Amino acid sequence: MPEPLSPAELIALDRAHVWHPYGPMPGRADPLVVESASGVRLRTAGPVHGRRELIDGMSSWWSAIHGYNHPVLNEAVRGQLDRMSHVMFGGLTHEPAVRLAATLVEITPAPLRHVFLSDSGSVSVEVAVKMCLQYWRSLGRPAKQRLLTWRGGYHGDTWQPMAVCDPDGGMHQLWSGVLPRQIFADAPPAGFEEPYADHLRELIGRHARELAAVIVEPVVQGAGGMRFHSPGYLRVLREACDEHGVLLVFDEIATGFGRTGTLFASEHAGVSPDVLCLGKALTGGYLTMAATLCTSGVADGISRGEVPVLAHGPTFMGNPLAAAAANASIGLLLGQDWAREIKRLESGLRTGLAAAEGIPGVADVRVLGGIGVVQLDHRVDVAAATEAAVRAGVWLRPFRDLVYVMPPYVMEDEDLARVCEGVCAAARAG
Ligand SMILES: *Cc1c(COP(=O)(O)O)cnc(C)c1O
């Protein structure tokens, strides 16, 4: 084993060589060094804030729903590691992946029957788009190759997903003229408004001839602005898509596995999509894996085409370690009264974040399931807000005008109250 790096050495090397998400090179802000994590706590060391234990309000970008270093998840991965960590998925198969696919079909809305496993959420969206475009090509309708979404969304950082991210908050300006130009409806209002429903119907009808699919995040728009909307709009989309012959894709990478209070957010509307993307909490935050599910109608359509296969196959498709973690994570989730835990988080967040309403500069406070959002009337000073949260013993990662929390489901009430105090401290400082 090499000598461990001191926190100062580590930061110096990090600055020199390592790119961080949406970061400049070289980096301008020093990240915190995490030495270990267990339960809902991150243990940090380092020149900036020293040795600390921070309560994690982020679930590592909404994925670590059972907390860190969980004995059941550890055991599942360890057991799989002793059998095999990976084999190619072309021409081979294995129990962890097959079991996972069957489970996903069982727990998602009924018409979804087929599962494509990939390595990350963005890739699962690429696969979803490819499925939809190929479906229409196979049916002899190659003109149907555009996508429609609403503003304020986020679907990932690779090419097709970027093109359906919010055109103002996303990277559209940088990439104008290069990204495929998709069709944008206005951002969905929080409550159900008939004129907005008409706006959706009108756009889908007007563009039906060139539209392959509508893609949206149901009920909660995550990284595009943490906005909530009426589930009624999902019924409007389903009806309009059926009427005009357009596929419907739900991106539940952020909302899946209980976060909004139902196992999948589409259940708030009682609507099922033709294609569904899952990721983030799929493996309980242990390993990178995502899934694209589709109906038999979509799969049959593709199979009738001139090229009757889905032309996609990542090297690490169906990775057994990730699949084992996912199986264990879903088992843990469904083996408990998860809906009650989300309700408990929801009421803790409502109580704890009520204090934020009186803070100068706070424009809105909203809570849904295990999601708490404090929106400011200005851009957050991320460094100052992070610093204030860390001083309060809490890890948060604000963005744009938003200080928000997505706690691990296992967070106890006392820790949740402290996280809410951290959010208020960050909102005051930021
Ligand atoms: C995070 C996210 C993605 C992208 O997933 P990655 O694993 O980061 O590629 C796509 N859609 C939604 C809704 C997300 O929240």
**So what's the pLDDT on residue 126?**
98
pLDDT tops 80 at residue 49: no
pTM, two decimal places? 0.97
Checking phi first, is residue 423 left (phi over 0); if not, alpha (psi -120 to 50) or beta? alpha
DSSP letter for each residue of 259-287: TTSSSSGGGGTT---SEEEE-GGGGTTSS
- Contact present, 150 and 166 (Cβ < 8 Å): no
**DSSP per position, 192-206:** --HHHHHHHHHHHHH
Element spanning 390, H or E: helix 382-391
* Cβ 254 under 6 angstroms from ligand 1: yes
Q: Mean pLDDT across the stretch 61-67?
A: 98
Nearest to 156 by CA among 166, 141, 168: 166
Does any ligand 1 atom lie closer than 6 A to the CB of residue 250? no
Interval 43-56 mean pLDDT? 86
Beta bridge partners of residue 374, listed in sequence order: 365, 403
| Least confident among 55-59, 170-174, 324-328 | 170-174
Q: Are strands 183-185 and 371-376 parallel, antiparallel or unpaired?
A: unpaired
73 CA → ligand 1 middle, Å: 22
Residues with Cβ < 8 Å from 251, sequence gap 6 or more?
A: 125, 128, 153, 155, 215, 216, 217, 277
Quote the tokens at residue 376. 């400011």
Bridge partners of 365, per DSSP, are 374
C-alpha 140 to ligand 1 mean position (Å)? 31
Q: Is the pLDDT of residue 418 over 70?
A: yes
For the chain, the 3-state helix, strand and coil shares in percent, each to the nearest 5, are: 40, 20, 40
Mutate which of 65, 124, 155, 283 for ligand 1? The one with the most ligand atoms within 8 Å of its CB, which is 155
Write the pLDDT tens digit of every residue in 129-152. 999 999 999 999 999 999 999 999
Burial, 373: exposed, middle or buried (Cβ in 10 Å; 0-12, 13-18, 19+)? buried
pLDDT tens-digit map of 331-357:
999 999 999 999 999 999 999 999 999
Give the pLDDT score at 164: 96
**Distances from the Cα of 392 to the Cα of 9, 56, 414, 422, angstroms:** 27, 12, 14, 5
* Predicted pLDDT of residue 176: 82
- Higher pLDDT: 175 or 402? It is 402
CB 126 within 8 A of CB 161: yes
Using the mean position of ligand 1's atoms as its centre, give its distance from the Cα of residue 279 in Å. 7
Residue 150 beta carbon below 6 angstroms from any ligand 1 atom:
no
Q: What are phi and psi of 115, to 5 degrees?
A: -130, 130
Asked which of 21-35, 76-90, 237-251, 381-395 is least confident by mean pLDDT, the reply is: 21-35
Tell me: the pLDDT tens digits for 67-101? Answer: 999 999 999 999 999 999 999 999 999 999 999 99
> Catalytic residue positions?
22, 154, 251, 280
* pLDDT(48) > 80: no
* Cα–Cα distance for residue pair 275/213, rounded to 1 Å: 10
pLDDT exceeds cutoff 70 at 121: yes
pLDDT score for 7: 86
More confident residue, 161 or 4: 161
Give the span between the Cα atoms of 64 and 414, in whole angstroms: 19
In this structure, the strands spanning 52-56 and 394-395 are parallel
Q: Virtual CA dihedral for 254, 255, 256, 261, nearest 10 degrees?
A: 150
Give me the percent of the chain exceeding a pLDDT of 70: 99
Helices (H), 36-153: 59-62, 71-83, 95-107, 121-138
Q: What residue's CA is closest to ligand 1, atom 11?
A: 155
Q: How far apart are CA 430 and CA 396, in angstroms?
A: 12
How do residues 376-411 score in pLDDT, each as one tens digit?
A: 999 999 999 999 999 999 999 999 999 999 999 999
Average pLDDT over residues 198-211: 98
Task: Say if residues 81 and 75 touch (Cβ distance below 8 Å).
Answer: no
- List 112's β-bridge partners, or say none: 295
Per-residue pLDDT for 170 more than 70?
no
Over residues 152-158, the mean pLDDT reads 96
Q: Cα–Cα distance between 247 and 182 in angstroms, integer?
A: 15
285 lines ligand 1 (CB under 6 A): no
Residue 1: pLDDT band with limits 50, 70, 90: confident
Average model confidence (pLDDT) across the chain: 96
Give 277-315 pLDDT, tens digit per residue: 999 999 999 999 999 999 999 999 999 999 999 999 999
Q: Is the CB of 430 under 6 A from ligand 1?
A: no
For residue 30, give the nearest of 52, 56, 49, 53 by alpha carbon. Answer: 49
Using CA positions, which residue lies closest to atom 7 of ligand 1? 121
Sign of CA dihedral 111, 113, 114, 117: positive
The rounded Å distance from CA 278 to ligand 1 centre is 9
252 C-alpha to ligand 1 centroid (Å):
9
Give, to the nearest 10 degrees, the angle between helix 296-303 and helix 121-138.
60
Task: Assess whether the C-beta atom of 223 lies below 6 angstroms from ligand 1.
Answer: yes
State the CB neighbour count (10 A cutoff) for residue 146.
18
**Percentage of the chain lying above the pLDDT 90 cut:** 91
CA 58 → CA 114, 149, 225, 419, distances in Å? 31, 27, 15, 10
Over 90: is that where the pLDDT of 118 sits?
A: yes
Kindly report which listed range (42-56, 199-213, 233-247, 393-407) carries the lowest average pLDDT score.
Answer: 42-56
* pLDDT over threshold 80, residue 171: no
Q: How confident is the model at residue 262 (pLDDT cuts 50, 70, 90)?
A: very high
Q: What is the mean pLDDT of residues 45-73?
A: 92
60 lines ligand 1 (CB under 6 A): no
